[in-house]
Structure formats: C-alpha cells, structure tokens
C-alpha cells in the first residue's frame, strides 16, 4: 500500500508576495512527491500482483482563501 500524505505548508500570503523559490519548493514536495511515490511503488505492486494507492489531499482544496491559493491549486482534482 502506498499512502501519499506528505506536504509542506507556507505562511499564508498573497500571490504577489510569495517568493518564486518558496513556491517552487512547495511544488517539488507536494506535487512531485506524489508522482515519485507512485512511480516507484507501482512496479512493486505489479510484481506482487496487487496493491493500493491512496492519495490524501487537504481541505484547502475546497475552502480556499485569497492567501492560500497555492495550496488550493495543488489539491483540486
């Protein structure tokens, strides 16, 4: 079983006030972490003949605020 639940949080701020480097770090952890977890877990699951992947998201996907837009966009499906 793969349970994707890792993520980072940044202090809420308006988009115009967020340094690009901070945004890039959050994207690398929150989006790429899910991708890499699945990339390496799927071959193991296939070789075992079964497996389960659970991708956990945040309530921020549904309850966005002007200062949490970057978190919301990562979790909306």
Taking only the tens place, the pLDDT of each residue in 7-51 is 777 777 888 888 899 888 888 888 888 899 999 999 999 999 999
Query: What CA–CA distance (Å, rounded) separates 51 from 71?
Result: 28
Q: Write down the residue that tokens 């956990």 correspond to.
A: 56
Query: What CA–CA distance (Å, rounded) separates 66 from 14?
Result: 6
19 within 8 A of 55, measured Cβ to Cβ:
no
Instruction: Please state the domain count of the chain.
Output: 1
In terms of residue numbers, what domain contains 50? 2-75
Residue 77: pLDDT band (50, 70, 90) is very low
What is the DSSP code (8-state) at residue 18?
S
């Amino acid at each position: 079983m793969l349970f994707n639940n890792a993520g980072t949080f940044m202090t809420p701020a308006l988009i115009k006030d967020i340094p690009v480097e901070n945004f890039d770090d959050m994207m690398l952890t929150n989006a790429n972490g899910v991708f890499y977890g699945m990339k390496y877990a799927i071959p193991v699951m296939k070789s075992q003949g079964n497996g389960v992947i659970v991708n956990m998201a945040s309530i921020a996907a549904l309850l966005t605020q002007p200062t949490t837009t970057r978190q919301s966009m990562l979790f909306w499906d």
